[in-house]
């Protein structure tokens, strides 16, 4: 009998496993892929957001700011490269400058330090930026991290402290027996007192194995254009243009 089964070895499952490994528990971490962090956690923007943007007083806003503050310690403990380079949200019109002023108010409510920059200040910080820039919102606590190694090192730490890692072993059924769960995979059956659903894109499918659900995930994809990232000084911050009617956001880092 296991104490905890965690389904999904992306960044969420990895950190849950690492945290629970501090206790005297029998824990198993199941991943359908051949390696950890092999889906969304590996193919994302790698940004550790400052937390100025979420709607104030929401759980997302609270956790974003708290999580951001933890990353210096996390990177040090897990020996993962983390660059707190800051972000610039850039305005190229007077209308967008008004939007930046609204973001300053939101930042204050979320407890995130920001600074509204003039066009001259932005160009000094980012010499290659569009010279039509009107100003920008600087969020100095934003950063970028190596997302794949973050998950790998996190799971390695969990395994070193007793967590069982099961790769290439998707969960195909779960039965609730009242006092425990029976988890069926492509390789066998397991019993556990607790099941934690960290399956990411498949979390709705995992949830529906246990109970009827009235929600589903609708994945979204973006596109990356990889430039010559070895050109030092080309971009010094993560740069966000403001959202438009055609797209939520483009970013450069």
Q: Which residues are catalytic?
A: 49
Q: Could you give the C-alpha distances from 108 to 49, 60, 148, in angstroms and in order?
A: 15, 16, 32
Q: Are 180 and 1 in contact (CB under 8 A)?
A: yes
Q: Could you give the C-alpha distances from 42 to 109, 183, 203, 229, in angstroms and in order?
A: 32, 26, 17, 18
Q: Are 135 and 119 in contact (CB under 8 A)?
A: yes
Look up residue 84 and give its two tokens. 């707190």
The CA distance from 188 to 190, in Å, is 7
Query: What is the total residue count of the chain?
Result: 253
């Amino acid at each position: 009998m296991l104490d905890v089964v965690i389904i999904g070895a992306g960044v969420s499952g990895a950190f849950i496993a690492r945290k629970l490994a501090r206790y005297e528990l029998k824990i198993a971490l199941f991943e359908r892929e051949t390696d950890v962090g092999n889906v969304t956690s590996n193919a994302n923007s790698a940004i550790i957001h400052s937390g100025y943007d979420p709607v104030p007083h929401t759980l997302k806003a609270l956790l974003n700011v708290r999580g951001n503050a933890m990353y210096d310690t996390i990177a040090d403990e897990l020996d993962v490269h983390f660059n707190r380079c800051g972000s610039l949200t850039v305005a190229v019109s007077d209308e967008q400058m008004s939007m930046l002023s609204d973001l300053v108010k939101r930042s204050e409510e979320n407890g995130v330090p920001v600074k509204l920059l003039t066009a001259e200040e932005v160009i000094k910080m980012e010499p290659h930026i569009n010279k039509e820039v009107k100003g920008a919102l600087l969020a100095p606590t934003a950063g970028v991290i190596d997302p794949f190694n973050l998950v790998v090192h996190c799971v390695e730490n969990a395994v070193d402290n007793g967590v069982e890692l099961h790769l290439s072993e998707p969960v195909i059924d779960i039965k609730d027996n009242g006092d425990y769960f029976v988890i069926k995979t492509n390789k066998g059956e397991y019993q556990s007192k607790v099941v934690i659903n960290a399956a990411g894109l498949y979390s709705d499918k995992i949830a529906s194995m246990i109970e009827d659900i009235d929600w589903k995930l609708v994945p979204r994809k973006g596109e990356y254009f990889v430039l010559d990232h070895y050109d030092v000084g080309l971009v010094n911050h993560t740069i966000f243009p403001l959202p438009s009617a055609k797209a939520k956001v483009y970013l450069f880092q």
